[in-house]
């Protein structure tokens, strides 16, 4: 048995700061490198000292994989490379590589300029970090190092999000990052083949949730927005720049057009144009409908949605505003919230998950009075609605993924502990699989079957087919192959004897075995050999296989088996039989014939029916 070691430095029984260390087959892989939106102290980044308390961190990590551009999955990347010193390979998809630096720069500005956070990376560090990134395509097998390869699968969730399969020799894991098993208005559903990994590491954000029908949710969302603007209220929808923002914009744009509504809809300045450019650039990552219609009509070219300016905050009358970020932890969405929260007529719609510690989480938990760092106190009187348009798999979707890829073990990350416990039991019950849920800093060991890959030479397969009349190789059917196992330069091959000798540079050495039978016979030695010869011919005449038998004055051979006779005294002789290991079957035939001829009383030969 061998094992896979998994240690979460973030997202272990928690949402945020995703960073999972995996050790298998002598290789160490880091999965994601995110920051925690709920903390502004040292806890915002994973504890990288865990990896290398003293020596250089690059020596400890063979590769780093980023699943998608959300900051809780890539927000600590520039810190890890430029400030902590990691210089090894970093892999992500092309859209992630294009979009991640923009979100990192936006967040850097907020953290440094507004919060005065000095322990933060600079703009130049972001640029230098992204130069180290190697972009991968979907379904492209990338050979990272000897025996280590990775492969990306479509994850839905956001533009460019990918699940990654990691293989080291015969051990394999699949890491989902964040994924969505349901297609939406702009992205397709996650997809993976039956790769049967030793371990599936899956997010479990909505481990206990089974969402209602998407159409019902959309209808409910549109109804609430319409009712609020009808009564003259303002609707704030906090979103991340790319993802749910586009989904909900398409939904509202279509509804406004159909209902001929006049209330203005706004989107944070600059983000709409950027989003449109990225969706154009990576159109193949969107769903089939958008790909088909993009030439005739750009789905992201909105008629009713206009850029927002901060001066619009105090405008009278109804309006709908999409503002970033999505958890109300900083930025424009928090500024607008502080202004609109005390007015009962207004509404806040939270369309996605909020990490503990953020304003969004507090508001959804029912907090009605909020105190901010500058002693500012806000009374929350606006209507608060939570409507899950979050692009994460729900409990049903997680079970679906397990069914698709058929893992041997499951490990849960990126979720709350209590919800993980429920899902863990469900997985054990439904699939009879071991399920793990380590906390941050806790190492988990998953036992796997030991498998060894062996190259089999073509010559050996041909020899086997002739010698044993065997069928062509069938991967679904076990068969026995006789050969020599050669280990050279960390590879293992099964060869025939001559190939093996040549490969390792030695002369062929044949091991021979000898047995003897005592017989009572006073005739000359050549007469004894003739008698044995006649008996062998008689025994073998009904056999389908042809044997090469040669008789001389002093010896007898059948294939590579040799017989010689030695006189003990006037009445007794001893017959020696020697054979090489590969002709053991022929040796047994000769001994059988001799013993059949031999009189147990030792006085004379007795005819015995052979067969």
pLDDT digits (tens, 9 = 90+) for 311-339: 999 999 999 999 988 888 888 899 999 99
Does residue 325 have a cis bond before it (omega within 30 degrees)? yes
> Which of 441, 336, 489, 610 has the alpha carbon at shortest distance from 12?
441
Q: Is the pLDDT of residue 606 over 50?
A: no
pTM of the model: 0.70
Q: Which of 154-158, 400-404, 405-409, 479-483 has the lowest mean pLDDT?
A: 479-483
Three-state DSSP class for 46? coil
Check if the beta carbon of residue 594 is closer than 8 Å to that of residue 532: yes
Count of residues in the chain: 611
CA dist., res. 499 & res. 503, Å (int) = 6
Check if the beta carbon of residue 424 is closer than 8 Å to that of residue 416: no
The pLDDT-based confidence of 117 (bands split at 50, 70, 90) is: low
Q: Which one of the listed residues 82, 105, 113, 203 is annotated catalytic?
A: 203
Who has greater pLDDT, 177 or 555? 177
Question: Integer distance in angstroms from the first to the last C-alpha of the chain?
Answer: 47
> Which of 142, 173, 179, 175 has the alpha carbon at shortest distance from 157?
179
Helix axes 417-431, 395-405, angle to 10 degrees: 40
CA dist., res. 181 & res. 390, Å (int) = 12
CA atoms within 13 A on the CB side of 40: 15
Which distant-in-sequence residues (6+ apart) come within 8 Å of 171 by Cβ?
A: 2, 4, 24, 25, 198, 448
Ranges for all domains in the chain classified under CATH 3.60.15.10: 2-210+391-438
* 460 membership: H or E segment, kind and range: helix 458-467
**Which string of DSSP letters, residue by residue, matches 145-162?**
ETTEEEEEEE--SSTT-E
- Ramachandran region, residue 359 (left: φ > 0; alpha: ψ -120 to 50; beta: rest): alpha
Ranges for all domains in the chain classified under CATH 3.30.310.80: 512-597
Mean pLDDT of all residues in 423-430: 96
3 is catalytic: no
Ranges for all domains in the chain classified under CATH 3.40.50.10890: 214-386
The pLDDT-based confidence of 605 (bands split at 50, 70, 90) is: very low
The pLDDT-based confidence of 476 (bands split at 50, 70, 90) is: low
Percent with pLDDT over 70 in the chain: 89
Going from the C-alpha of 465 to that of each of 236, 544, 584, the distances in angstroms are 74, 17, 19
DSSP summary character for residue 347? E
- For position 475, what pLDDT does the model report? 55
Which distant-in-sequence residues (6+ apart) come within 8 Å of 442 by Cβ?
A: 7, 8, 12
Check if the beta carbon of residue 341 is closer than 8 Å to that of residue 348: yes
The pLDDT-based confidence of 607 (bands split at 50, 70, 90) is: very low
CA angle (547, 552, 555) in 5-degree steps:
80
- For position 602, what pLDDT does the model report? 41
Strands (E), 82-180: 90-93, 133-136, 141-145, 148-154, 162-168, 171-175
Neighbouring-strand partners of residue 40: none
Check if the beta carbon of residue 245 is closer than 8 Å to that of residue 275: yes
Which distant-in-sequence residues (6+ apart) come within 8 Å of 311 by Cβ?
A: none
Q: What is the CATH number of domain 214-386?
A: 3.40.50.10890
- For position 498, what pLDDT does the model report? 79
Mean pLDDT of all residues in 8-16: 93
Q: Is the pLDDT of residue 230 over 90?
A: yes
The pLDDT-based confidence of 471 (bands split at 50, 70, 90) is: low
CA dist., res. 362 & res. 577, Å (int) = 90
- For position 119, what pLDDT does the model report? 64
Q: Which of 46-50, 279-283, 433-437 has the lowest mean pLDDT?
A: 279-283
What is the average pLDDT score of the chain?
85
Q: Is the pLDDT of residue 608 over 50?
A: no
List, for residues 510-543, the tens digit of each pLDDT value: 777 787 778 777 888 888 888 888 888 888 876 6
* 537 membership: H or E segment, kind and range: helix 525-540
The pLDDT-based confidence of 603 (bands split at 50, 70, 90) is: very low
Check if the beta carbon of residue 388 is closer than 8 Å to that of residue 352: yes
The sign of the dihedral angle between the CA atoms of 581, 582, 586, 592 is: positive
Look up tokens 């440094």; give the residue: 112
- For position 600, what pLDDT does the model report? 40
List, for residues 143-153, the tens digit of each pLDDT value: 999 889 999 99
CA dist., res. 7 & res. 22, Å (int) = 7
Strands (E), 442-571: 444-448, 455-456, 484-488, 491-495, 512-520, 549-551, 555-558, 561-567
The pLDDT-based confidence of 474 (bands split at 50, 70, 90) is: low
Which CATH superfamily groups domain 2-210+391-438?
Ribonuclease Z/Hydroxyacylglutathione hydrolase-like (3.60.15.10)
- For position 113, what pLDDT does the model report? 58
Q: What is the CATH number of domain 512-597?
A: 3.30.310.80
């Amino acid at each position: 048995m061998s094992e896979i070691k998994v240690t979460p430095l973030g997202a272990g029984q928690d949402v945020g700061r995703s960073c999972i260390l995996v050790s298998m087959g002598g290789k160490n892989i880091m999965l994601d490198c995110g920051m925690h939106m709920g903390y502004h102290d040292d806890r915002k980044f994973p504890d990288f000292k865990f990896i290398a308390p003293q020596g250089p961190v690059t020596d400890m990590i063979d590769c780093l994989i980023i699943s998608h551009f959300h900051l809780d999955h890539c927000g600590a990347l520039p810190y890890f490379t430029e400030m902590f010193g990691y210089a090894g390979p970093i892999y992500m998809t092309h859209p992630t590589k294009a979009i991640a630096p923009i979100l990192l720069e936006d967040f850097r500005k907020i953290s440094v300029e507004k919060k005065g956070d000095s322990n933060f990376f600079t703009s130049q560090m972001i640029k230098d970090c992204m130069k180290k990134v190697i972009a991968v395509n979907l379904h492209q097998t990338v050979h990272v190092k000897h025996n280590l390869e990775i492969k990306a699968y479509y994850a839905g969730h956001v533009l460019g999000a990918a699940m990654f399969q990691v293989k080291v020799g015969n051990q394999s894991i699949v890491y989902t990052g964040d994924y969505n098993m349901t297609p939406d208005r702009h992205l397709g559903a996650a997809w993976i083949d039956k790769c049967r990994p030793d371990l599936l590491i899956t997010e479990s954000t909505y481990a206990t949730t089974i969402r209602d029908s998407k159409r019902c949710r959309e209808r409910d969302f549109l109804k609430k927005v319409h009712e609020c603007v009808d009564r003259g209220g303002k609707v704030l929808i906090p979103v991340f720049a790319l993802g749910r923002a586009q989904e909900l914009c398409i939904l509202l744009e279509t509804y406004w057009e159909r209902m001929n509504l006049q209330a203005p809809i706004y989107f944070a300045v600059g983000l709409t144009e950027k989003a449109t450019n990225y969706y154009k650039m990576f159109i193949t990552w969107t769903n089939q409908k958008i790909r088909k219609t993009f030439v005739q009509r750009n789905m992201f070219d909105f008629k009713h949605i206009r850029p927002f300016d901060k001066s619009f905050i105090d405008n009278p009358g109804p309006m709908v505003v999409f503002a970033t970020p999505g958890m109300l932890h900083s930025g424009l969405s928090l500024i607008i919230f502080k202004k609109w929260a005390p007015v009962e007529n207004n509404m806040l719609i939270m369309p996605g998950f909020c990490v503990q510690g953020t304003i969004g989480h507090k508001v959804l938990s029912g907090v009605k009075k909020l105190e901010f760092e500058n002693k500012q106190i806000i009374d929350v009187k606006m209507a608060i609605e939570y409507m899950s348009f979050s692009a994460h798999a729900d409990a049903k979707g997680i079970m679906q993924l397990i069914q698709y890829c058929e893992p041997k073990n499951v490990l849960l990350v990126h979720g709350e502990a209590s919800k993980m416990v429920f899902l863990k039991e469900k997985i054990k019950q439904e699939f009879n699989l071991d399920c793990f849920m380590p906390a941050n800093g806790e190492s988990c060991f998953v036992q796997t079957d030991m498998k060894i890959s062996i190259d089999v030479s073509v010559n050996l397969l041909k020899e086997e087919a002739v010698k044993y009349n065997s069928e062509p190789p069938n991967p679904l059917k076990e068969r026995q192959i006789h050969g020599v196992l050669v280990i050279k330069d960390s590879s293992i091959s099964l060869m025939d004897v001559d190939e093996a000798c040549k490969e390792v540079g030695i002369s062929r050495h044949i091991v021979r075995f000898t047995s003897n039978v005592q017989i009572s016979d006073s005739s000359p030695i050549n007469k004894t050999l003739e008698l044995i010869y006649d008996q062998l011919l008689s025994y073998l005449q009904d056999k389908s296989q042809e044997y090469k038998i040669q008789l001389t004055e002093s010896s007898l051979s059948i294939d590579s088996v040799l017989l010689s006779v030695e006189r003990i005294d006037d009445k007794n002789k001893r017959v020696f039989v020697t054979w090489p290991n590969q002709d053991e079957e022929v040796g047994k035939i000769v001994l059988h014939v001799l013993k059949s001829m031999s009189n147990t009383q030792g006085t004379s030969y007795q005819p015995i029916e052979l067969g």
